[in-house]
Structure 1
């Protein structure tokens, strides 16, 4: 019986990571080519063979650990961590997350991927002894503000696709005419929720696009949606979704020799009746973008809700486009280029037609128009700008999910460069080393022209940031003047006072504790899982909602009794 080694764990989003294991083979002949395909599909988002990514690098794994550890870890990794097993503890401390029981790979596929991995030698480690990496970049923790918020259950969304699959609720806003809450599922559906909390299906994008793809764990599917500010008159509604590989001509490419894992598509829908409870009408493609991997895609499209007809920003669509996982694929040049679309916030006029593809407009006020850089780019230097929202005073906040250390909020301004992939928060990344390592800023940093976060935290406090909203409702006066946001995996809820936000300094983050039915509670306790998958929503009255995507629950923040 042959014994081969592999390492499996889960990243902060629940995707597969690899730790060190040993697996007894059943006698099948290993197919290394098939193993490479399995690795590409299941592992490459988090691993390579040169340095640590979201998970550990996998070069040079042979003859490590025993069979019992493997079997115990696959069965219940949390038990090994809780039991203080040294290797499990070490990986948990380093990556600050762990996987659930791992049993979805076919045994033969697992054998093949192990054979493929074992062909890979240990990476060469560059000699950088003169540089000192920061293991704990931000030593100060996030304090409890002393304030509590109360959660009220609104509803649990129905199962979708199969009885075993919860809805993957991702975004909530409100219908501009009916003012009903409108909520999207990454699996393709958009729901309307009336004032009696009755749910109805507004739209299912998967029925309109035969190549629509939705893969849990990789932020694919129906990414975002938005109503045009003149929706009541022009009946225009916009969506983003993913399709696999090249299914149509792309408007943005990064080189013919590089793979295309997905395409993100913006679609404009002209509704037959803007008052209808279901979307019926015709569609046209606005934009199609290649991405090199399945992560960090187009998770946000939105319009300025405070702009008035005649304002320069009225009717302009902001598009949050991540780096597509380019850094994990050792392709940092893709986002680190002002002439590329990736790792940027784009701004277009969907009613115009002066773009290169003739399907949308380029605002003349965009910062790179007439200069070196992509005309569509509004700002650059993001890894994953997953949410964009406006404060009442007109300032724009972008939340940016980081790599291994820093989660951050930025004030979005035209032409600014927020640093990625050479900066993560207020720290430097050495492009010749692992992007998972950060260093103090160099002495000549002011010459680089980067703009730094207005708030940030490291992975001691949480694994991934989720943007939210300034509270503008009336039910909870104590929340007014506060931008409420949180942390995706652990489900912590934070705020920063909008009056303290100032570019060039980091606003102190405070934590809000949660209660329900008069008792203290955490979102982890409510979802009964290690990953909360937190999202925020806001209704027409400015009240804020909390979504736990893991169990498909919607809560409203309400006054305490």
Structure 2
């Protein structure tokens, strides 16, 4: 194992609803695949619930056997162990109308780490333009807190923590996750459009490529992963700023934890490998980043490990000498497999049912076509990249993967759809089981 990987394991965190028209777990007619993995056992998908439009997140809070599924048009469902489901929160009157190709909507869900003793939940959604959002912008990013009682969210308990003007409708990120220190990580895209340029995109230090919300940490909160303390207040804000956030006492907005992201679609926190963020690429490469405090992951100077917008000669560090950190996983849009068009972040597997996946990072491309990707963080290679295999999934597994989750036993959950757009009711929740 490389010294860099050992260091990151030691420090941990200290150191396309929301994709491309994100779209149940059923193999499409005629689907076949020759993609295999020599060292990972076969897996299958077992359907737990169905009938969703576009399920983009699933959570299993402590103290309950229920699973909560966030459906992109604006509802959260409570799914019981027998597959029964009830609406736990209906935000459709607060969320922008979404249908067809749309990257907005209800995009993220997280429960307080002390749940159910502290029965709060956090929801990330796209609202119509609110006060402070320019009239030529698309919508307003909203992060809100709700109280949960009897398995349902108390609608009139909503407390808005954060609002961010969003220039375009795409590249919203949207995932939420609590770290081991109890702080909330919030993934935010670069503001949309293409290339991190145009309306609502500021300039940065790299003059050869226009735009740069991902590289500018002073103008706005776009293109970053934020870290917030939901249990305190700082300077009158409805949330606290952790004292060890990297820009506290420096130039830049204190909420930033790491930056240089285009469209971080799904993140997870692992006990050994820390914060893992999947960042959807522009046109050539997809990536997964092992994110550290104050890390800069290169967009829009780099796309993965490659120059973006220029033919060679792009920098490997900022003018201040901070490195542009490479991903731990990268795959192309075309060429030898694995390949794809929009990465969907997953989890390092910590369950018991799938021996061949243990300590592997399981993720997917949105256009899954019957397979998942498995990366090995423990592989002893000459590269800092984690080797990746494509693993076919048997059983009820749809062609589009939207999101992953974990149940309370550490078994992997997958949200899928038969549709490439936000429409219909083919969205499903599955559990991965031995194939």
Q: Which has the higher contact order (CA 8 A, sep 6+)?
A: 2
Using the size of structure 1 for normalisation, the TM-score is 0.63
Q: Secondary structure at the match of 1:390?
A: strand
- 1:173-192 to structure 2, matched below 5 A, reads 173-192=59-78
Return the alpha-carbon distance in structure 1 between the equivalents of residues 330 and 45 of structure 2. 29
Going from structure 1 to structure 2, the CA distance change for 1:145 and 1:485 (only over 3 Å counts) comes to: farther
Q: Is the 8 A contact 1:13 1:489 kept in 2?
A: no
Give the equivalent residue in structure 2 for 1:248.
131
Structure number with larger C-alpha Rg: 1
Shift of 1:442: 4.5
- 1:101-500 to structure 2, matched below 5 A, reads 144-145=37-38, 147-155=40-48, 157-158=50-51, 167-207=53-93, 209=94, 212-244=96-128, 246-249=129-132, 259-271=136-148, 273=149, 276-280=150-154, 282-304=157-179, 307=180, 313-314=181-182, 316-328=183-195, 329-330=197-198, 331=201, 332-339=211-218, 340-355=220-235, 358-393=237-272, 395-430=274-309, 439-440=311-312, 442=314, 449-460=323-334, 461-491=339-369, 492-500=371-379
Return the alpha-carbon distance in structure 1 between the equivalents of residues 340 and 57 of structure 2. 21
Return the alpha-carbon distance in structure 2 between the equivalents of residues 377 and 503 of structure 1. 32
- How many residues align? The count is 378
Shift of 1:516: 2.7
Return the alpha-carbon distance in structure 2 between the equivalents of residues 269 and 352 of structure 1. 16
Q: Is the 8 A contact 2:96 2:104 kept in 1?
A: no
Q: Which moved more, 1:498-507 or 1:325-334?
A: 498-507
Give the equivalent residue in structure 2 for 1:13.
20
Shift of 1:554: 2.5
Q: Is the 8 A contact 2:401 2:414 kept in 1?
A: no
Unpaired segments ≥5 residues, structure 2: 1-18, 23-34, 202-210, 420-425
Q: Which has the higher strand share?
A: 2
Using the size of structure 2 for normalisation, the TM-score is 0.80
Deviation readout 1:416-465 (Å, 9 max, x if unpaired): 111101110001123xx6xxxxx445487696621000110010110010
Deviation readout 1:216-242 (Å, 9 max, x if unpaired): 422211111111112323321111111
Q: Which moved more, 1:546-555 or 1:291-300?
A: 546-555
Return the alpha-carbon distance in structure 1 between the equivalents of residues 382 and 121 of structure 2. 33
Shift of 1:476: 1.6
RMSD: 2.7
Shift of 1:152: 3.8
Unpaired segments ≥5 residues, structure 1: 1-11, 16-141, 159-165, 251-255, 308-312, 434-438, 518-522
Q: Which has the higher helix share?
A: 1
Q: Is the 8 A contact 1:452 1:504 kept in 2?
A: no
Going from structure 1 to structure 2, the CA distance change for 1:441 and 1:510 (only over 3 Å counts) comes to: farther
